[in-house]
Amino acid sequence: MLWGLWRHFKKLAVYNSYVPVRIKRLNTLAADLPLQNMPGRVIIRIAALSLSLAASAEAQSVVPDSTAAIAASKPGLFDRVVANQRRNEEAGDMYERVERLEIRKSPSDPAIISVKITRVIPSGTGMYHIVLGPDGQPTDAAVYRHDLENLEKALVLAVGDSRSQREAMEKFAKKKKDRNDLIDSTRTAFLFTFVAREPRADRMLSKYAMEPNPAFKPTSRLSTVFSKVHGFVWIDEDSGELARIEGEVTEDISVGLFLAKVYKGSHFMQERYEFMPGLWLASFSQYDFDGRKFFSSFSIHERTFYSNYRYIGPPKEALEAVRKELKGAGLGKSGSTPPSP
């Protein structure tokens, strides 16, 4: 969704724009990512999806004489990383999850200003957000049922065969292709230098320094961001998986002409774990960004925890699961108890 997020920089949407019938949801992805939050999410998404792809091209990258040589890697390591990253990304579209978003005044401030917990469910053309209570459970059964019914409507449209729906799905497919093209363009965006091996729990990770490749030629407006980010990436060589990324903005990043700017020194990171055999997904992300939107300054300090991953499948399977939940839970009825997401 790199390309889609970039498009959302230009406008604030409160609708799921991928569905022909606009379902007004302040909890949908577009509404859940207000303008001031988007720069951080875009850069995290760029890094999480593309660092391993860039690493696979290190042999073809032009390295200045002053740059340390890239350390030798196991044969085919980065080919595996690339394949696994693509597979994980595709699988992520089939899993629902629970997100806990914490907002602070500063990175070192232990006090949490606000917490938002949402159940995030694939809708076939995006992610549908349903707000939960502080304990991760619905606070109002009737409202929760209404949210599920709206999701059901979106999924019905997603599996339909109307002309408008076919057009919507074609648009979504094109966006995914554009995203993949953007990821491919990062193959020569960075130079990776082996730093060390570091333990994490019962696994050993290989740490690489990540620096912009001076020979890289941006192919889109979004890919120009790559020249203004550096940091580190950790690879689990045994599984060939991207396990952690951490980066810093080295130059101010302008977005949409005068729309917004992310200032130099802003920081982002993400941790990824194996949630089930062969499937690595995000468990935690943090970004601390300062900048401006239009003529107002903003400061973002957010931490997001991802949990409760559960397979829900493509739209047809997801529709059956949602209908089963609506039928079996008795949501909205007196004395009923909503199921745990």
Give one DSSP letter per residue of 237-269, joined into a string: TTTTEEEEEEEEE-S-EEETTTTEEEPTT-EEE
Q: Are 306 and 284 in contact (CB under 8 A)?
A: yes
Asked if pLDDT for residue 120 goes beyond 90, the answer is yes
Here the tokens at position 305 are 């925890």
Q: Are 56 and 81 in contact (CB under 8 A)?
A: yes
> What is the pLDDT, as a whole number, of residue 210?
87
Q: Are 312 and 96 in contact (CB under 8 A)?
A: yes
Higher pLDDT, residue 175 or 216:
216
Tell me: the pLDDT tens digits for 4-36? 333 333 332 222 333 333 333 323 333 333 333
Distance CA(44)–CA(280), nearest Å, equals: 16
In terms of DSSP H, where are the helices of the chain?
2-8, 29-32, 38-55, 77-92, 141-159, 163-185, 315-329
Give Cβ neighbours of residue 29 (< 8 Å, ≥ 6 apart).
16, 126, 127, 128, 129
Q: Among 47, 92, 98, 83, which residue's Cα sits nearest to residue 280?
A: 92
Give Cβ neighbours of residue 244 (< 8 Å, ≥ 6 apart).
200, 205, 232, 233, 234, 269, 270, 271, 272
Helices and strands (H, E) in the chain, number of each type: 7, 12
- Which range among 44-53, 99-108, 193-202, 282-291 shows the weakest confidence by mean pLDDT? 44-53
Asked if pLDDT for residue 293 goes beyond 90, the answer is no
Here the tokens at position 77 are 């390591």
C-alpha 107, offset from chain centre: 21
∠ Cα 269 270 273 (to 5°): 155
> What is the pLDDT, as a whole number, of residue 261?
86
Tell me: the pLDDT tens digits for 312-324? 999 999 999 999 9
Asked if pLDDT for residue 115 goes beyond 90, the answer is yes
Query: pTM of whole model > 0.75?
Result: yes
> What is the pLDDT, as a whole number, of residue 250?
95
Q: Are 49 and 2 in contact (CB under 8 A)?
A: yes
Average pLDDT along the chain? 75
Asked if pLDDT for residue 113 goes beyond 50, the answer is yes
For the four alpha carbons of 79, 182, 71 and 209, in that order, the dihedral sign comes to negative
CB-hemisphere CA count at 13 Å for 200? Answer: 17
The full DSSP string for 36-99 is: GGHHHHHHHHHHHHHHHHHHTTTTTS---TTSPPPPP--TTHHHHHHHHHHHHHHHHTTEEEEE
Higher pLDDT, residue 30 or 305:
305
Q: Is 317 exposed, middle or buried (0-12, 13-18, 19+ CB in 10 A)?
A: middle
Higher pLDDT, residue 307 or 186:
307
Asked if pLDDT for residue 208 goes beyond 70, the answer is yes
Higher pLDDT, residue 218 or 188:
218
Q: State how far the alpha carbon of 238 is from the alpha carbons of 73, 202, 242, in Å.
A: 12, 12, 11
